[in-house]
Amino acid sequence: MIEVDFRAVDRKDLPPPTLDFLHLDTLWLQVTGTLCNLACTHCFISCGPKNDSHPFMSLDDVRGAVESAAAMGVQEIYFTGGEPFMHPDIKEMIELCLEVAPLNILTNGILITPEMADWLAHKFKTAKYSLDLRVSLDGTTPKENDAIRGRKTFDKIIASVELLWNAGINPVITVTTCHADLSAVEGRMKFIELLAEHGITQPRMKFLSPFKIGREERRDQGYADYQRLVEGDLLEGEEHDLQCSSCRMVTAKGVWPCPILIEVPEARMGISLDDAAIPIKLDHPACYTCHVEGVSCRT
């Protein structure tokens, strides 16, 4: 925990820190843009069934980005959206990525059919590199989860987690800590007990702090004026912990520094990954969350 009273100085007129780009370790692909089968109240990019501000990426878009990233020596690839399993070409996309690097898919799990679960499990067992799924769940009861992710989603998510586990895939359950006590030890134990009740004996969990932008800004509240980074805030060695020193996000509309900022037009870095291998200014309030909470979007 960093104990600094940022309010003690007037920070809004100070320049933001600059962060060097070290290497493209992580390629993020917004494969289904902002289109999602759910419209969670905490979503930091307002994804939903009607938001096509970032459309689906084409198979060629994905191939192009993956080839560029491979030439840069990428270590790992992530799919997110929106909901990646809405994409009709998802299998081809998964296959072409796994030729090059390990792949993580962030999903709500709801659209994964038994046939898809078996196909994923086969890829998991036979691909050269690791295939990992992260399934989002925001509570250990329907009441807790459905208040954020939508009516009846708890049962559907649990069913998909069971389906994956039984097929041979053990997804990482990703929890956004909107319910404050979920990240504490007791909160974590509740998730582990829930998974055990459903036969999952090797619980894998990731807890993420919410970002106060997108739909979450309306659910909770936005950032205060003082909640932004200025020169001198970064700790020694922190550049390695901030994922934006080693990742870029590609959508159908271009390249962004990280998965969080794709609805911030000024954050767009260009059309190709080569354009984006440059330093960035950490001038967005969401950067404050990554710094203070130590958030990394990596699994």
Partner 1 sequence: MSDMKVLIFGGIYNNYLALEALLEAAEKEGVDQIYFLGDVGGFGPHPDKVFPYLRDTKNIFLMQGNYDHSIGNRLEDCACGYTDPRDNYFAQISYDYTLENTSDENKDFLKSFAPEFRRDWAGKRILMAHGSPRRVNEFLWESTSPVGFLDYILKASDSDVLFVTHTGIPWMREFRDGRKVVNVGAIGRPANNGKTTVDYVIVNTNTLDITLHELAYDHVRLASEMAAEGLPEPFVQTILTGWWTTCLEVLPARERARGIH
The only residue of 8, 180, 185, 235 in contact with partner 1, by rule CB under 8 A? 185
Q: Which residues of 85-114 are buried (b: 16+ CB within 10 A; e: fewer)?
A: bbbeebeebbebbbebbbbbbbbbbbbbee
Task: State in angstroms the smallest separation of the CB of 119 from partner 1.
Answer: 16
| Residue-wise DSSP of 224-266 | -TT-S--TT-SPTTHHHHSGGGSEEEEETTEEESSGGGTT-GG
Nearer to partner 1, 9 or 71 (CB): 71
Stated as kind and residue range, the H or E segment containing 162 is: helix 153-167
User: In terms of C-beta density within 10 A (0-12 exposed, 13-18 middle, 19 or more buried), how is residue 53 classed?
Assistant: middle
User: Between 100 and 262, whose beta carbon lies closer to partner 1?
Assistant: 100
Any contact of residue 202 with partner 1 (CB under 8 A)?
yes
Q: How many residues bind partner 1 (CB under 8 A)?
A: 31
Read off the tokens for 65: 């980005």
DSSP E strand stretches across 52-159: 76-80, 103-107, 131-136
Per rule CB under 8 A, is residue 165 in the interface with partner 1?
no
By the rule CB under 8 A, 209 interacts with partner 1: no
Q: Is residue 205 involved in binding partner 1 (CB under 8 A)?
A: yes
Closest alpha carbon to 132 in 85, 98, 181: 98
Contact status: 72 vs partner 1 (CB under 8 A):
yes
Q: How far is the CB of 129 from partner 1 (least distance, A)?
A: 6
Nearer to partner 1, 23 or 152 (CB): 23
Distance between CA atoms of 105 and 160, rounded to whole angstroms? 14
When the beta carbons of 28 and 154 are compared against partner 1, the nearer one is 28
**Rounded to an integer, what distance in angstroms lies between the CA atom of residue 29 and that of residue 116?**
20
Site stretch for partner 1 (CB under 8 A), options 36-44, 84-92, 124-132, 260-268: 124-132
**First-residue to last-residue Cα distance in the chain:** 21
User: What does the alpha-carbon distance between residue 299 and residue 54 come to, in Å, rounded to a whole number?
Assistant: 24
b/e code 258-271 from CB counts within 10 Å (16+ = b): bbbbbbeeebbbee
Taking the complex as a whole, the smallest distance from the CB of residue 75 to partner 1 amounts, in Å, to: 4
Residue 138 sits in the site that holds partner 1 (CB under 8 A):
no
Among 47, 93, 100, 276, contact with partner 1 (rule: CB under 8 A) = 100
Among 101, 148, 161, 273, binds partner 1 (CB under 8 A): 101
Specify which residues 18 forms β-bridges with: 281
Describe the strand order of the beta sheet including 103-107 as a list of residue ranges: 205-208, 172-176, 131-136, 103-107, 76-80, 26-30, 247-251, 254-256
Any contact of residue 166 with partner 1 (CB under 8 A)?
no
131 near partner 1, rule: CB under 8 A: yes
Comparison of 9 and 130: residue with beta carbon closer to partner 1 = 130
Stretch that binds partner 1, among 42-50, 145-153, 165-173, 278-286 (CB under 8 A): 165-173
Q: How far is the CB of 53 from partner 1 (least distance, A)?
A: 31
The two three-digit tokens of residue 233, written as one number? 């805030």
- Report the site for partner 1 in 2-61 (rule: CB under 8 A): 23, 25
CB closer to partner 1, 72 vs 111: 72
**Interface residues with partner 1 (CB under 8 A)?**
23, 25, 70-76, 100-102, 124, 128-133, 168-170, 172, 185, 188, 202, 204-206, 240, 296
